Structure 1
Amino acid sequence: MKLKIEQSQTEFYTPVAGLYFVGHALNKKTALSKSLRKIKKRHRITHIDLIRAYCGQLAQGKSDFDNVDNNRDNDWFRLAMGIKQMPSASRLRQRFNEDAAQLIPFIEDSLTDVLVNLQVPVTPLPKKLDKKQHIPLDIDVFPMDNSNTKKEGVEYTYKKFFGYAPIAAYFGCEGWCLGCELRPGSQHSQNDFIGFLQAVLHRSRRLTRAPILVRLDSGHDAEESRREIAGFKGVNHIIKLNPRKYHTKEHWLPIFEEKQVKWEESRPGKSYATLSTVYETNYGNQRLIIRIIKRTTDTVGQRFLTPDYELEGWWTTLSEADYSDDQIINLYEDHATSEQFHSELKTDMDLERLPSGKFDTNDLVMCLGALVYNILRYMGQSCLLGPDAPVRHKAKRRRLKTVIQELIYLAARLLKKGHQYRLRFGRYCPGFRSFHQLISQHASNSRRLD
């Protein structure tokens, strides 16, 4: 079939109609439009217009500042995001470099504001996993590869490459992001952790009064962490043990033999035994679960000359009367789900290699990424799981990449009749019903395009 290729000089089409809701959530569901006025404006473009422009890029999975220049003459991008004056890429980079440290606290406050105002669901752990159905709060450090760059803070990470080691907190089974703080690559997990933990716990209480279960890996196995969590009412924890000189297999094996702990076989040549001990402290009882794994053969049946022992452990405030040792271990294993959230934040939003050479600017970019992450997550949870959603396999949660593909990249025609704009979708647009439902629920008659 032969086609004639031409470009209209009057009609306007957009491939990213879904940005309308991102702009609505940013402008109507956060207080940024007012709060950023507290920061002195050095140039004509307001701080909120800078945030709008960059968040519009992140919602499309683009993090480079140069992408902003592609939308400088795009009427739909400006209208959807509510931008009064569109910045250039160089101006955006310059202003972020100048004001990043002042902007970050306001962006961090907006992480919870957008969740509260959107009335997001906060799902507890399933009853078969946790009979008391705590709300999980998973906090973890994850490495970001920025090798072969000279950016501030790029250092050798525990994954043996040069980059950053940010820390993030995810709340509920949906994985709402309550904090994302950039850190130098070589910084230990526990350094400056308590302040981050306090901020995240206070934010979580704005969303729910239900019991919370904080899950941390062995990098946060410290008395100050356990003491801080104990100071919050209705908050329990499971922290992976960091085996130090007091917790070795040589120390615990005689104790297991003395107490005649039963060994259970998980496969031929591999067995394990578990022992639980309660320690009384001035900030509450701390239960330590120790598991020793004994291997006499490898996975293919090759026998070892001597048995190989491996020790694992977990600190928790969950009582032995309510939770068995195996249930605690299963609850901690579910903590691995947070790795998926890291992946979405880094990969789906193009934040693996950060765009600036300035550390504070990249920290601001990560905060904005967390804000847009929450908006996209809400769009996916509310629109892509129902019967009107585009055909997809069944799931409890949609990746951000799926949200961007199905709800952000919607092709539409922008029409203006009188003083009113209309957005017209194609006849066979698979995401129209889901997007229309989202707009009708939150943005109908509440925000004009002008």
Structure 2
Amino acid sequence: MTFPRFNIEQSDSEFYTSQSGVALVGLAINRFTSLNSRVAKAAPCKGVATADVLRCYLGLLCQGKSDFEAIRPFFEDDAFFAAALGVNKVPSPETLRQRMDAVAEATMRIVDFCTVEFLKKAKAEFSTLETGHMPLDLDVFTQDNSNTKKEGASWTYRKFHGFAPIAAWLGLEGWCLEIEHRPGSQHAQEGFVPFLLRAIHKSRQLTEAPLLVRLDSAHDAMATLVALKQENVDFIVKWNPRGTDVPARAGEVFAHGKMIQQDKKGRIAIMTQTIERTYQDEDGEKQTIKLRRVLRATERYFEKDGTELLVPDIEIEGWWTSLSVAKDKVIELYKGHALCEQYHSELKSDMGLERLPSGKFATNTLVMHCAGLAYNILRAVGQVGLMSGKQRRRAKQRRRLKTVIQDLVYFAGRFIRHAHTLTLRFSRHAHDQYDAFSRTYRRFAYG
């Protein structure tokens, strides 16, 4: 049996790239943010410009690479990468690491500013809930950096050594408003209220729709509830039943609440309470706020595998809310908060940020701010390129970042520099990808 054999050749002049989508990234950074001018003023430097260093690192993150060493192939042959990002020179891995260490404190707030600036200038679309509210979800997630001695890495609530940053996500698309890098041992509520206020302020710059802030039980604290009331935003905060007599409270719900399920497997009931809680304001004066709490009690007689329980399993859940909608609607609206886990997964897995690249806490803070901007760029690329035309799928708000990276960032093409013009030429077979890529490029370049 015979089979064809290929002649293997290498061109002396032609240049091909497997990362054509970096051109979209460069266009997004340079047209929709003021990163270059702001960084040039805040951190001027001889040699490779600091803005070039940051733009190159953003180019790596948008390929799903976070390690500084990943810049080496582009440093050794930077023809397309440099042109796509609009940089004068690509730094070496050593320069990238040293410069990120040196300018972390001076530039992290600039990158954070550009994260929201990009959403404004790129005219990102924000989808609301069926109630008309714009969801604003804030949540802590963990990064496993076990067996390292990185500054700030410590024991997390997930029972491994690492970090526990907190992020804010806006809209059904899950746009990233801000990420705050934190040591692994820091409690979720520590320093949370200032972060919450910043997220609300940024949200109001981007949308006029009423906000619905959704938080898990780690943020069930009087300071949080007071801040939400004072900011006049709607909210659903998971109630933390710490110190609660669960059987007694569940019995109260079963006795006075609405039974929504009752059969041989168990029973479920829900009820609403209006509770007055007191607190001390900044002047030490006692104040009172009224809060609505939805409670759900569950009593199970069987395990999930069908084994009958000797003693019924009783569970009590609750949600603080400012909404006046039906009890079951409050619970249904809160379920959307679980999408945060997918956003965290995309950030860590698809962008390669589970294990952070530096041993210095400040540098890793800058890395996480860059990740927020890169995340939004990839999300925008996916929204424009993969949410319309032949690429559109039904009943979806977004594309996973991994899909965006595979379909549009890692789109192979021929890079041509001729007569003072730059051209990307693609295969005649890649019709759908070409349509998505060209549509995105036109939108970013001229839209």
1:98 aligns with 2:127: no
The answer on whether the counterparts of 1:276 and 1:289 sit within 8 Å (CA) in structure 2 is yes
How far is 1:285 from its partner? Answer: 3.0
The answer on whether the counterparts of 2:228 and 2:234 sit within 8 Å (CA) in structure 1 is yes
Q: Which moved more, 1:407-416 or 1:369-378?
A: 407-416
- What is the rounded CA distance, in whole Å, between the counterparts of 2:231 and 2:127 in structure 1? 20
Alignment partner, residue 11 of structure 1: 14
How far is 1:276 from its partner? Answer: 0.9
1:289 aligns with 2:305: no
How large is the Cα RMSD of the aligned pairs?
1.8
How far is 1:250 from its partner? Answer: 4.4
1:374-415 Cα deviation digits (max 9, x unpaired):
0100111111122233x8787432100100111111111122
- What is the rounded CA distance, in whole Å, between the counterparts of 2:274 and 2:381 in structure 1? 44
How far is 1:177 from its partner? Answer: 0.3
- What is the rounded CA distance, in whole Å, between the counterparts of 2:238 and 2:360 in structure 1? 34
Alignment partner, residue 317 of structure 2: 312
How far is 1:266 from its partner? Answer: 5.9
The answer on whether the counterparts of 1:218 and 1:241 sit within 8 Å (CA) in structure 2 is yes
Describe the shift of the 1:256–1:392 C-alpha distance in structure 2 as closer, same or farther (beyond 3 A): closer
Q: Which structure 1 segments of 5+ residues have no match?
A: none
Describe the shift of the 1:364–1:40 C-alpha distance in structure 2 as closer, same or farther (beyond 3 A): closer
- What is the rounded CA distance, in whole Å, between the counterparts of 1:301 and 1:424 in structure 2? 60
- What is the rounded CA distance, in whole Å, between the counterparts of 2:390 and 2:439 in structure 1? 9
Superposed, 1:12-161 pairs within 5 Å as: 12-72=15-75, 73-125=77-129, 127=130, 132-161=131-160
Q: Which structure 2 segments of 5+ residues have no match?
A: 278-286
1:387 aligns with 2:383: no
1:260 aligns with 2:256: yes
- What is the rounded CA distance, in whole Å, between the counterparts of 1:146 and 1:267 in structure 2? 47
TM-score after normalising by structure 2: 0.93
TM-score after normalising by structure 1: 0.92
- What is the rounded CA distance, in whole Å, between the counterparts of 2:410 and 2:434 in structure 1? 11
Identity of aligned residues (%): 42
How far is 1:4 from its partner? Answer: 1.4
1:206-256 Cα deviation digits (max 9, x unpaired):
1111111000000000011111112223x21101111122x3324424544
1:239 aligns with 2:242: no
1:249 aligns with 2:246: yes
Describe the shift of the 1:262–1:335 C-alpha distance in structure 2 as closer, same or farther (beyond 3 A): same
The answer on whether the counterparts of 2:261 and 2:269 sit within 8 Å (CA) in structure 1 is no
Paired AA for residue 116 in structure 2: T
1:325 aligns with 2:323: no
- What is the rounded CA distance, in whole Å, between the counterparts of 1:216 and 1:200 in structure 2? 13
Describe the shift of the 1:250–1:435 C-alpha distance in structure 2 as closer, same or farther (beyond 3 A): same
1:104-162 Cα deviation digits (max 9, x unpaired):
1111111110000010110001x2xxxx2211111101111111111111111111111
The answer on whether the counterparts of 1:248 and 1:311 sit within 8 Å (CA) in structure 2 is no
- What is the rounded CA distance, in whole Å, between the counterparts of 1:266 and 1:387 in structure 2? 48
1:303-343 Cα deviation digits (max 9, x unpaired):
33332211111101112xxx111110111111101111110
Match of 1:279 among 272, 275, 279: 275
Alignment partner, residue 408 of structure 1: 409
The answer on whether the counterparts of 2:155 and 2:185 sit within 8 Å (CA) in structure 1 is yes
Alignment partner, residue 228 of structure 1: 227
Q: Which moved more, 1:426-435 or 1:394-403?
A: 394-403
Paired AA for residue 245 in structure 2: T
Describe the shift of the 1:427–1:16 C-alpha distance in structure 2 as closer, same or farther (beyond 3 A): same
Describe the shift of the 1:409–1:393 C-alpha distance in structure 2 as closer, same or farther (beyond 3 A): farther
Aligned residues: 433
Alignment partner, residue 437 of structure 2: 435
- What is the rounded CA distance, in whole Å, between the counterparts of 1:283 and 1:99 in structure 2? 46
Alignment partner, residue 183 of structure 2: 184
Q: Which runs of 4+ in 1 moved over 4 A?
A: 281-284, 391-394
**Equivalent position SS for 1:252:** helix
**Equivalent position SS for 1:443:** helix
Paired AA for residue 197 in structure 1: L
**Equivalent position SS for 1:333:** helix
How far is 1:283 from its partner? Answer: 6.8
1:254-304 Cα deviation digits (max 9, x unpaired):
5446x5334333663221221211124557531111221112222344333
Describe the shift of the 1:207–1:302 C-alpha distance in structure 2 as closer, same or farther (beyond 3 A): same
Describe the shift of the 1:260–1:285 C-alpha distance in structure 2 as closer, same or farther (beyond 3 A): closer
- What is the rounded CA distance, in whole Å, between the counterparts of 1:144 and 1:81 in structure 2? 29
How far is 1:42 from its partner? Answer: 4.0
- What is the rounded CA distance, in whole Å, between the counterparts of 2:10 and 2:288 in structure 1? 70
- What is the rounded CA distance, in whole Å, between the counterparts of 1:149 and 1:261 in structure 2? 51
1:364 aligns with 2:363: no
Paired AA for residue 71 in structure 1: F
**Equivalent position SS for 2:330:** helix
**Equivalent position SS for 1:152:** coil
